[in-house]
A and B are shown apart, each in its own frame.
Chain A
């Protein structure tokens, strides 16, 4: 550029002309501008660095916390479902193959093995409504109470130490036995009213129960015993078992 006073060649950053010594106003302005720009640049740089630093400290921490919270939720869900998971898996397997499951159930029924029938359904947690197994719903409940009845009878008569049993378990066993009879009776009545397609099997279970009561307790009129209230049943059984 040229000096406005003497026309000599001067640089943009020369404060005064080296030929005439007059001040170079453009250079002064330029220096001021540069100084301002540098200051602003430094401020912006500092702000950007500060923000970047903050983000670099906060974001990873937030991410770690988020991951830990998700892990906590997943583990809490697994913990609370730990007990039902094996059963659910068995149920899914049984329901995925209804024809195979039904074949197993029918094999038990063909042998009048109602205890295994009930236990198989219970163990596999098979749902008995709105699916291929609905037909077995009432039969299952009858078989379930029948099984409880037989297991309780076996519990009563398979004791090595009778006196210990009389002291500790007798009243509970008798109460539970009578409960299983009355519950079976209710399921039986419902099945009969609804003309359940599996009524023949249900009748066999009832007949077995009556026979077992007659054989083990010596009741002459088991049909009469079967319709007693739970308390009267318990009293009758106690009389036989505990000589009360």
Chain B
């Protein structure tokens, strides 16, 4: 005849483990959201840039810097910023074209002129701004192409 023993109260060990489990769960949730946020932000850093802000401020120099430092033509352009990057590439080519033309490096100047045409056609709705880039450079360069 087995007497039914009453259920024992949770031991101290179990209570401590419950508390530890709750803490671990909270930390896990926090770290999970932090990880997601870090990955998103890292991916944004890798794919997006401040190029549109530079365009808004009319700083084509900043756009070129962004182009070389972050995207560069081997990296996939994000479709949202594709036109900005082609405009930056145009500005870079336009500067170098004037430099090569000014120093008499004709082969390089011709090569860069082709690049300018290419980038202008890819700049889409921003291609109208290439005129402004040319104007700025015409004023800056002592020699005219």
**Per-position contact with A for B132-145: 1 when CB-CB < 8 Å, else 0?**
11001100111100
Interface size on A, residues (CB 8 A): 53
Residue A2 at the B interface, CB < 8 A? no
Per-position 1/0 for A93-123, Cβ under 8 A of B: 0000000000010000001100110011011
| 18 more A-B residue pairs beyond the given contacts A155-B62, A159-B136, with a C-beta to C-beta distance below 8 A | A61-B14, A68-B21, A71-B28, A71-B31, A79-B35, A82-B38, A82-B42, A83-B45, A86-B43, A86-B46, A115-B68, A119-B74, A147-B68, A151-B68, A154-B65, A154-B95, A158-B91, A158-B136
Binds B, one of A16-24, A43-51, A188-196: A43-51
CB of B144 to closest CB in A, whole Å:
12
Contact A46 B35 (CB under 8 A): no
- Contact call A218/B142, Cβ cutoff below 8 A: yes
Task: Tell me if A54 counts as interface (CB < 8 A to partner B).
Answer: yes
Are A68 and B42 in contact (CB-based, < 8 A)? no
Number of A-B contacts (CB under 8 A): 148
CB of A80, distance to nearest CB on chain B (Å): 8
* Docked-complex contact B42 and A86, CB < 8 angstroms: yes
Contact between A65 and B24, CB atoms less than 8 A apart: yes
Residues of B within 8 A of A (CB): 2-3, 5, 8, 10-11, 13-14, 17-18, 20-21, 24-25, 27-28, 31-32, 34-35, 38-39, 41-43, 45-46, 58-62, 64-65, 68-69, 72-75, 91-92, 95-96, 99, 102-103, 108, 111, 132-133, 136-137, 140-143
Taking a contact as CB atoms under 8 Å apart, the answer to whether A215 and B102 are in contact is yes
Within 8 Å CB of B27, what residues of A? 68, 72
In the complex, A42 has a CB within 8 A of chain B: yes
A243 within 8 A of partner (CB): no
- In the complex, the answer to whether A83 meets B42 with C-beta atoms within 8 Å is yes
Indicate which residue in B17, B39, B133, B136 contacts A58 across the interface (CB closer than 8 Å): B17
Our pick among A49, A75, A160, A215 for the contact of B28 (Cβ within 8 Å) is A75
Whether the Cβ atoms of A116 and B72 lie closer than 8 Å is yes
Digit string of A64-82 for contact with B (CB within 8 Å is 1, else 0)? 1100110110011011001
* A51→B18 CA distance, assembly (Å): 18
Interface residue? A156 (CB, 8 A) = yes
Q: Which of A199-226 contact B (CB under 8 A)?
A: 208, 211-212, 215-216, 218
The minimal Cβ–Cβ distance linking A178 to chain B, given in whole angstroms, is 17
- With beta carbons under 8 angstroms apart, the residue of B25, B31, B72, B103 that contacts A75 is B31
Which of these, B2, B46, B91, contacts A45 with CB under 8 Å?
B2
Given the complex, which residues of B lie within 8 Å of A85, measured CB to CB?
Answer: 42
- Interface pair B143/A158, CB less than 8 Å apart: no
- In the complex, A235 Cα to B7 Cα: how many Å? 87
Given contacts A111-B111, A119-B72, contact A54 B11 (CB under 8 A): yes
* Interchain nearest-CB distance for A46 vs B (Å): 6
Residues of A near B143 (CB, < 8 A) are 215
User: CB within 8 A of A50: which of B8, B28, B41, B92?
Assistant: B8
Q: Assuming the A-B contacts A75-B28, A75-B34, A82-B42, are A157 and B140 also in contact, with contact meaning beta carbons closer than 8 angstroms in the complex? A: yes
Query: Separation in Å of the A177 CB from the closest CB of chain B?
Result: 12
Contact status of A160 and B58, CB under 8 A, knowing A42-B3, A215-B99: yes
Nearest CB of B to A216, in Å: 8
- Inside 8 A of A69's CB, which chain B residues have their CB? 24
